[in-house]
Amino acid sequence: MNRFQKAGILAAAAFISLGPAIPQGFGVAQDYVRPWVMFSGVGQGTMKGTFTLTKTDGSTQTYTPLEIMSLERYPNIFPYEFDRLLLDRDAMTPIVSAFCSERVGQGDILSYAGLVGAQNGWALYEAEDVCPKDEQLLAEVRS
Protein backbone atom coordinates (compact mmCIF):
# COMPACT_ATOMS: atom_id res chain seq x y z
CA MET A 1 0.00 0.00 0.00
CA ASN A 2 1.54 3.29 -1.07
CA ARG A 3 1.26 6.61 0.73
CA PHE A 4 -1.49 7.91 -1.56
CA GLN A 5 -3.66 4.89 -0.83
CA LYS A 6 -3.06 5.34 2.89
CA ALA A 7 -3.93 9.04 2.64
CA GLY A 8 -7.13 8.17 0.74
CA ILE A 9 -8.25 5.68 3.37
CA LEU A 10 -7.52 8.10 6.21
CA ALA A 11 -9.40 10.85 4.39
CA ALA A 12 -12.38 8.49 3.98
CA ALA A 13 -12.24 7.65 7.70
CA ALA A 14 -12.18 11.35 8.59
CA PHE A 15 -15.05 12.09 6.20
CA ILE A 16 -17.18 9.27 7.61
CA SER A 17 -16.60 10.10 11.26
CA LEU A 18 -16.28 13.90 11.25
CA GLY A 19 -18.11 14.95 8.04
CA PRO A 20 -21.52 15.29 9.75
CA ALA A 21 -20.02 18.07 11.91
CA ILE A 22 -20.28 20.39 8.89
CA PRO A 23 -24.08 20.30 8.58
CA GLN A 24 -24.86 19.39 12.20
CA GLY A 25 -22.18 21.16 14.21
CA PHE A 26 -21.78 24.29 12.12
CA GLY A 27 -25.25 24.37 10.60
CA VAL A 28 -23.91 24.56 7.06
CA ALA A 29 -26.31 22.70 4.77
CA GLN A 30 -24.16 20.77 2.36
CA ASP A 31 -25.57 18.30 -0.13
CA TYR A 32 -22.39 16.27 -0.39
CA VAL A 33 -21.97 15.72 3.36
CA ARG A 34 -24.58 13.59 5.07
CA PRO A 35 -26.05 14.76 8.39
CA TRP A 36 -27.43 11.99 10.57
CA VAL A 37 -30.66 13.61 11.70
CA MET A 38 -33.17 10.82 11.22
CA PHE A 39 -36.82 11.73 11.84
CA SER A 40 -35.86 15.22 12.98
CA GLY A 41 -38.35 16.69 10.50
CA VAL A 42 -41.11 14.11 10.89
CA GLY A 43 -44.10 15.55 12.69
CA GLN A 44 -43.04 19.17 12.25
CA GLY A 45 -46.15 21.11 11.30
CA THR A 46 -48.59 18.49 12.62
CA MET A 47 -51.15 19.78 15.06
CA LYS A 48 -52.14 18.35 18.43
CA GLY A 49 -54.99 20.45 19.64
CA THR A 50 -58.60 21.42 19.09
CA PHE A 51 -60.42 23.42 16.45
CA THR A 52 -63.51 25.11 17.80
CA LEU A 53 -66.35 26.21 15.56
CA THR A 54 -68.43 28.94 17.19
CA LYS A 55 -71.77 29.45 15.47
CA THR A 56 -73.57 32.78 15.28
CA ASP A 57 -76.11 31.53 17.84
CA GLY A 58 -73.26 31.01 20.36
CA SER A 59 -73.18 27.20 20.17
CA THR A 60 -69.77 25.55 19.76
CA GLN A 61 -68.49 22.34 18.28
CA THR A 62 -64.96 20.95 18.51
CA TYR A 63 -62.93 19.06 15.93
CA THR A 64 -59.55 17.36 15.82
CA PRO A 65 -57.06 18.50 13.15
CA LEU A 66 -57.63 15.24 11.24
CA GLU A 67 -61.40 15.83 11.27
CA ILE A 68 -60.86 19.34 9.92
CA MET A 69 -58.89 17.84 7.01
CA SER A 70 -61.44 15.02 6.53
CA LEU A 71 -58.71 12.45 7.18
CA GLU A 72 -58.77 9.33 9.34
CA ARG A 73 -54.96 9.09 9.34
CA TYR A 74 -52.09 11.10 7.94
CA PRO A 75 -51.29 9.56 4.53
CA ASN A 76 -48.60 6.91 4.23
CA ILE A 77 -46.21 9.19 2.35
CA PHE A 78 -43.05 11.08 3.24
CA PRO A 79 -44.12 13.95 5.52
CA TYR A 80 -42.54 16.63 3.31
CA GLU A 81 -44.84 15.51 0.48
CA PHE A 82 -47.92 16.35 2.55
CA ASP A 83 -49.11 19.84 1.70
CA ARG A 84 -51.22 20.45 4.82
CA LEU A 85 -48.63 20.92 7.53
CA LEU A 86 -48.61 24.08 9.62
CA LEU A 87 -45.00 25.02 8.93
CA ASP A 88 -45.81 28.73 8.92
CA ARG A 89 -48.86 30.85 9.64
CA ASP A 90 -49.88 31.10 5.98
CA ALA A 91 -50.06 27.31 5.87
CA MET A 92 -53.36 27.28 7.78
CA THR A 93 -55.36 28.10 4.63
CA PRO A 94 -54.91 24.76 2.79
CA ILE A 95 -55.59 22.92 6.08
CA VAL A 96 -58.95 24.54 6.78
CA SER A 97 -60.19 25.88 3.43
CA ALA A 98 -62.26 22.83 2.42
CA PHE A 99 -63.86 22.64 5.88
CA CYS A 100 -64.53 26.38 5.87
CA SER A 101 -66.26 26.31 2.50
CA GLU A 102 -68.43 23.32 3.41
CA ARG A 103 -69.17 23.72 7.12
CA VAL A 104 -68.55 27.29 8.22
CA GLY A 105 -71.43 29.66 7.61
CA GLN A 106 -71.54 33.44 7.35
CA GLY A 107 -70.55 34.89 10.75
CA ASP A 108 -69.33 31.58 12.19
CA ILE A 109 -65.80 31.57 13.64
CA LEU A 110 -63.32 28.68 13.48
CA SER A 111 -60.39 28.90 15.90
CA TYR A 112 -57.51 26.66 16.90
CA ALA A 113 -55.80 26.17 20.27
CA GLY A 114 -53.10 23.62 20.93
CA LEU A 115 -49.66 22.55 19.84
CA VAL A 116 -47.79 22.52 16.56
CA GLY A 117 -44.85 20.20 15.86
CA ALA A 118 -41.61 22.21 15.99
CA GLN A 119 -37.86 21.54 15.79
CA ASN A 120 -37.37 20.12 19.29
CA GLY A 121 -40.89 19.06 20.14
CA TRP A 122 -43.97 21.25 20.28
CA ALA A 123 -44.78 24.95 20.12
CA LEU A 124 -47.93 26.49 21.57
CA TYR A 125 -50.20 27.95 18.92
CA GLU A 126 -53.52 29.73 19.09
CA ALA A 127 -55.35 31.33 16.22
CA GLU A 128 -58.76 32.99 16.01
CA ASP A 129 -60.95 33.03 12.95
CA VAL A 130 -58.69 30.91 10.78
CA CYS A 131 -60.96 30.59 7.75
CA PRO A 132 -59.67 32.45 4.69
CA LYS A 133 -61.51 35.65 4.03
CA ASP A 134 -60.76 35.78 0.36
CA GLU A 135 -64.10 35.02 -1.31
CA GLN A 136 -62.37 34.20 -4.58
CA LEU A 137 -60.20 31.60 -2.82
CA LEU A 138 -63.25 30.02 -1.20
CA ALA A 139 -65.02 30.00 -4.54
CA GLU A 140 -62.02 28.19 -6.08
CA VAL A 141 -62.10 25.61 -3.28
CA ARG A 142 -65.83 25.10 -3.72
CA SER A 143 -65.41 24.62 -7.46
Partner 1 sequence: MSAVTDYISDKLIETGSTRPVARFRICLGVLLYMRFGEELSLHAADSFWDQTFSLAYYAAAAMVTVGLFTRWALGASALLLALMYYGKFWGWYSPGWGHHHHYLLMVCCAVLAFSGAGRSFSADRAIRMYRSLPPQEERAQTWPQTLLVLQLCAIYFWAALDKTSAGYLHGDWLERVFEWVYAGNPAYEIVTNRVFLIAGSWAVLAIEYVLPVAILLRWRLNIWIPIAFALHAAFYVMLPVQTYSASMMALYLLVVDPDWLDAQIDKYVIGKAPAHA
- Residues in touch with partner 1 (CB under 8 A): 1, 6, 9-10, 12-13, 16-17, 20, 24, 31, 34-40, 42-44, 46, 48, 65-66, 71-74, 76-79, 81, 117-122
Nearer Cβ to partner 1, position 13 or 139?
13
> Nearest 5 degrees, angle CA 29-CA 35-CA 41?
85
Strands (E), the chain: 47-54, 60-63, 109-118, 121-127
Find the shortest distance in angstroms from Cβ 113 to partner 1: 16
Nearer Cβ to partner 1, position 57 or 81?
81
d(CA 138, CA 133): 8
Find the distance separating the first CA and the last CA of the chain, reported in whole Å. Answer: 70
Cross-strand partners of 110: 53
Find the shortest distance in angstroms from Cβ 44 to partner 1: 7
Find the shortest distance in angstroms from Cβ 57 to partner 1: 31
